Structure 1
Amino acid sequence: MNGLITNYFSVIHDKQSLLFSYAKNMLTENVTKAQEVFDFLHNELAFFILWEERVLLPLFDDKESPLFETYPTYSLHLEVQHIKILIKYINEGFLQLTIPMQANSVTNKLTMSESVETLISVFDELEGLLQQINIKKESLYFPIIDEALTKEEVAELFVTMTYSDAKN
Structure 2
Amino acid sequence: MQRTSFDDMRCPIARSLERVGEWWSILILRDAFLGVTRFDDFQSSLGIAPNMLTRRLRALTDAGLLERLRYSEKPPRYEYVLTPRGRDFRPVLLALMAWGNRHFATEGPAMQLIDERTGEVVEPMMVDAKTGEPIDRARHAMHAGPAADERIRSRVNTYRQRRAQQRATSTNSSQ
TM-score range, shorter chain: under 0.3
If the length of structure 1 is used for normalisation, what is the TM-score? 0.24
- Higher radius of gyration, 1 or 2: 2
More helix by share: 1
If the length of structure 2 is used for normalisation, what is the TM-score? 0.24
More strand by share: 2
